[in-house]
Amino acid sequence: MLSNLNLDDSVTEARKTYASARPKARETHEAACAHLPGGNTRTVLFHGPFPLRAARGEGPYLFDTDGHRYVNLLGEYTAGVFGHSHPVIKAALAEAIETGLNLGAHNEAEAELASHVTARFPAMERVRFTNSGTEANLMAVSTARATTGRDAVMVFKGGYHGGLMYFKDGVGGVNAPFSFILGTYNDSDEARHLIRENADRLACVIVEPMLGSGGCIPANSAFLDTLRQETTDCGALLILDEVMTSRFGPNGAGALAGVTPDLMTLGKWVGGGMSFGAFGGRADIMELFDPMKPGSLPHAGTFNNNILSMKAGIAALTQVFTPAEAEALHARGEALRARLNDVFKQAGVAMHASGMGSLMTLHGVAGPVTRMADIAGSNDAAKELLFLDLLERGYYIARRGFLALSLALDDAHLDGFVDAIAEIVQTRKAALPRA
């Protein structure tokens, strides 16, 4: 029966199956709508007909309020690289709780974590902590503006630098009121032209070494090299947003590409998956925040050095997600993406997994995917069908097709996931777009 349905009917059928199996999630959603707009306080997690409601997590598994268990392949959008409640992270948090919360003073843990961060990421000669990647990117951009005395910020279509710098549909919405120059990701010629044309007012270029929210599209080497050379020539700063990609290899995506930025930013995994962010870079730039020097820049934040994030971050960097573990996870992701694309190719369906290392996105196009233009025609209904069918088989990814692998996943979990994809593709072959 399923094999004879067209795509629209297949999605309708999958939504009904999803909804009928999750009455508690529906009930919670309807109650939440009385207090939260759309029953939601985190847009990226919302999906129709109503969102999944998590009850708890354990290792590689997520359990919902209706009693279903899923292999969690979403990894909290990269923050959950350790899996759920990793014992080493739990022990660090328990120790932090015993010493007391909300200390309101400098502590030894922040100095120790800073030493590990600067050792792990050599581009960060000095570092300061924030509460999120959004804050880190806002501070990095503001630092560049203060350093250069210029106002303009160059960004790229599809870029995401936090809730206040989001460029999926251009510049607008709730973005911070910076003077933005919008370029095309992976277009070296255009980037060179825009930087030179705006050289006298350009404070910085901020770029992800791989578009994350924009579809897991890695930057090509020529593009990053162009940004590095042109910003150096005109006196602007290059900021690498590595909130997501710092998990790539032992030292992050910038190091893998051989590009050293003036500033870079980090996100929550570096704080053990807790509320955390960081910005840092060249010592001469970061010294602007030294309060012992006249005219220093202020940088406030009650929880910048909160003891939970500091202790969890130390444990994460030194005991759990070591450089060796990072390299191994990166290789496993590369292998998984190749296997998925082989499944799609063999089935002759227009689906493709793009990405790098342990981060990837499933698209409703045949591929390859190297620019945003390549996914402009991505079949959204096909992605929704894949998402819903995976849930029924016990696998959780993002509705938009995003995956972030965690250390808790073993070969059996990944083999099962590939098998589930293959089964869905064969079952829904008549409904899915053909390559």
Euclidean distance between CA atoms 31 and 21, whole angstroms: 18
User: What mean pLDDT is predicted for residues 134-145?
Assistant: 98
Q: What is the mean pLDDT of the chain?
A: 96
For residue 407, the model assigns a pLDDT of 98
Is the bond preceding residue 368 a cis peptide, omega within 30 degrees?
A: yes
End-to-end CA distance of the chain: 23
pLDDT band at residue 5 using 50, 70 and 90 as cut-offs: confident
Asked if the model's pLDDT at residue 58 lies above 50, the reply is yes
List domains and CATH numbers for the chain: 2-81+324-427 (3.90.1150.10), 87-320 (3.40.640.10)
DSSP 287-324: GGG-TTSTTPPP---TTTT-HHHHHHHHHIIIIIS-HH
Asked if the model's pLDDT at residue 32 lies above 70, the reply is yes
Asked if the model's pLDDT at residue 2 lies above 60, the reply is no
Cβ proximity of 270 and 280 under 8 Å: no
Cβ proximity of 140 and 297 under 8 Å: no
For residue 57, the model assigns a pLDDT of 97
pLDDT digits (tens, 9 = 90+) for 268-294: 999 999 999 999 999 999 999 999 999
Task: Report in angstroms the alpha-carbon separations of 90 from 4, 83, 255, 271, 333.
Answer: 49, 12, 30, 13, 26
Asked if the model's pLDDT at residue 1 lies above 90, the reply is no
Cβ proximity of 147 and 237 under 8 Å: yes
**149 C-beta neighbours (distance < 10 Å), count:** 9
Q: Which parts of 5-60 fold into alpha helices (H)?
A: 7-20, 23-32
Euclidean distance between CA atoms 41 and 60, whole angstroms: 25
pLDDT digits (tens, 9 = 90+) for 85-125: 999 999 999 999 999 999 999 999 999 999 999 999 999 99
Euclidean distance between CA atoms 317 and 271, whole angstroms: 9
**189 C-beta neighbours (distance < 10 Å), count:** 11
**Which residue do the tokens 């590595």 mark?**
242
Euclidean distance between CA atoms 226 and 416, whole angstroms: 41
pLDDT band at residue 3 using 50, 70 and 90 as cut-offs: low
Is the bond preceding residue 49 a cis peptide, omega within 30 degrees?
A: yes
Mapped onto helix, strand or coil, the DSSP state of residue 363 is: strand
pLDDT digits (tens, 9 = 90+) for 359-371: 999 999 999 999 9
pLDDT band at residue 4 using 50, 70 and 90 as cut-offs: low
Q: Is the pTM of this model over 0.85?
A: yes
| Residues in contact with 123: Cβ distance below 8 Å, sequence separation at least 6, in sequence order | 240, 254, 255, 260, 261, 264, 280, 281
